[in-house]
């Protein structure tokens, strides 16, 4: 099917300049001079272009939702309405956590194109981690970000009527189904979307035939589908974070919806486990490994500190200080479970990650297997894990075969 067959203009590197020039509100944001456009898309779903005049200075970013899944091609149609969710997420999160959200310059509803801040001075956190640059402080920034959106978009911090109305408005059916399928179902069954390293076939069979594990994943899926606690980011892996001097920013909230808060933390934690596996097989320097191994605890501590400090300002005084501790315990154990599901999907589901894919064998096989074992145990043992320390001890046990332990 030709691209003109779609009911809206699909932007390309060649047409973005004319598009930007047709929008005085955008051109006015650029320094005078010839415009250059770079196609920087590296996520699974969308087109992303950086538009600049002066190369050394930030310009702006145009992100367009394609009517298909970018990495798959036109054979996997996908609603561009996801850009409406992303626009909503950016607007809401920017109000609540401006330092951790890109500035929005405008949403072109007809083209499903969002114009936003050029974060060119920052780097995709996954890429930085893969190159051996930890930016470990970003873990606390993201923990704080998750706490702020958890509080300020839920009945904890928001007027109940306004919250109920945002909950209705923010339904994101198609993208939730992607997560329900690709993260919380398909990796755990035989499915044509799945692939895994041939060296871990036996382990994969064990995962898919473990009845208790499947029941736990069903429970996590049910939580995901029914616990509309807050407007969560919905896809907060390390590729959805840009980090650099003094700032960490959560990008790409197209999956945002009212869901369980632990899902966002779990997405981060799954990727910390994967980063740690990579660091160990590559024998990264001790300080890098220590930094990565401390990220789960740092993000959790920042999340707890922020929530505890916001709690007294809450919307409903009946939620007394004692209740925050119970709330935190639930979020912690759900986050561990979701981390397990998210790590599993990266090893044996549809969308894999460069952290592992760029390793050579045999490290690629051993790292995939070790992450999968961690993932399984996080799902099964999450109720017994009372602290980040206990959770990371479990990670250490399973990743031990990848490289010598580095003292914390
Ligand atoms: C079709 S690939 C879909 C995945 O990409 C996004 O980044 C989400 O993680 C989603 O599960
Ligand atoms: Mg994304």
For residue 64, count other CB atoms closer than 10 A to its CB: 23
User: Tens-digit pLDDT profile for the chain (408 aa)?
Assistant: 346 678 999 999 999 999 999 999 999 999 999 999 999 998 899 999 999 997 778 999 999 999 999 999 999 999 999 999 999 999 999 999 999 999 999 999 999 999 999 998 999 999 999 999 999 999 999 999 999 999 999 999 999 999 999 999 999 999 999 999 999 999 999 999 999 999 999 999 999 999 999 999 999 999 999 999 999 999 999 999 999 988 999 999 999 999 999 999 999 999 999 999 999 999 999 999 999 999 999 999 999 999 999 999 999 999 999 999 999 999 999 999 999 999 999 999 999 999 999 999 999 999 999 999 999 999 999 999 999 999 999 999 999 999 876 766
Q: Ligand 1 pocket test: which of 235, 236, 267 has the largest number of ligand atoms within 8 Å of its C-beta?
A: 235
Distance (angstroms) between ligand 1 centre and the Cα of 350 equals 8
Whether residue 108 contacts residue 25, with contact meaning beta carbons closer than 8 Å, is answered with: no
Question: What is the whole-number distance in angstroms between the Cα of residue 322 and the centre of ligand 2?
Answer: 36
Ligand 2 centroid to residue 254 C-alpha, Å = 7
pTM above 0.75, yes or no: yes
Total Cβ atoms within 10 A of residue 81 = 16
Instruction: Give, using CA atoms, the residue closest to atom 6 of ligand 1.
Output: 44
């Amino acid at each position: 099917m030709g691209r003109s067959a779609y009911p809206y203009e699909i932007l390309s590197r060649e047409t973005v300049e004319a598009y930007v020039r047709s929008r005085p509100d955008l051109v006015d944001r650029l320094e005078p001079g010839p415009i250059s456009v770079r196609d920087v898309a590296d996520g699974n779903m969308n087109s992303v272009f950086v538009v600049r005049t002066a190369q050394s200075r930030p310009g702006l970013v145009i992100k367009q939702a394609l009517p298909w899944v970018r990495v798959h091609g036109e054979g996997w149609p996908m609603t561009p309405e996801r850009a409406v969710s992303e626009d909503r997420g950016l607007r809401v999160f920017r109000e609540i956590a401006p330092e951790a959200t890109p500035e929005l310059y405008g949403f072109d509803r007809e083209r499903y194109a969002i114009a936003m801040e050029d974060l060119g001075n920052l780097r995709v956190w996954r890429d930085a981690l893969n190159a051996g640059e930890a930016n470990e402080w970003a873990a606390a920034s993201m923990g704080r970000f998750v706490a702020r959106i958890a509080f300020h978009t839920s009945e904890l911090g928001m007027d109940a009527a306004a919250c109920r109305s945002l909950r209705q408005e923010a339904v994101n059916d198609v993208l939730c189904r992607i997560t329900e399928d690709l993260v919380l179902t398909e990796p755990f069954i035989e499915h044509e979307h799945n692939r895994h390293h041939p060296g871990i076939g036996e382990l994969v069979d064990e995962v898919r035939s473990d009845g208790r594990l499947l029941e736990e994943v069903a429970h996590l899926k049910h939580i995901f589908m029914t616990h509309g606690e807050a407007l969560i980011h919905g896809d907060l892996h390390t590729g959805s974070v840009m980090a650099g001097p003094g700032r960490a920013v959560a990008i790409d909230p197209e999956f945002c919806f009212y869901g369980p808060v632990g899902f966002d933390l779990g997405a981060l934690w799954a990727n910390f486990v994967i980063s740690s596996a990579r660091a160990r097989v590559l024998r990264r320097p001790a300080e890098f490994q220590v930094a990565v191994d401390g990220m789960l605890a740092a993000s959790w501590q920042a999340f707890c500190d922020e929530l505890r400090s916001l709690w007294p300002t809450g919307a409903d005084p009946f939620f007394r200080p004692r209740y925050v501790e119970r709330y935190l315990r639930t979020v912690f154990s759900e986050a561990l479970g979701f981390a397990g599901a998210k790590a599993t999907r990266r090893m044996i589901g549809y969308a894999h990650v460069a952290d592992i894919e760029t390793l050579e064998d045999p490290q690629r096989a051993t790292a995939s297997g070790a992450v999968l074992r961690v993932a399984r145990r996080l799902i099964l043992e999450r109720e017994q894990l009372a602290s980040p320390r206990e959770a990371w001890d479990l990670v250490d046990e399973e990743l031990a075969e990848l490289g010598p332990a580095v003292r914390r």
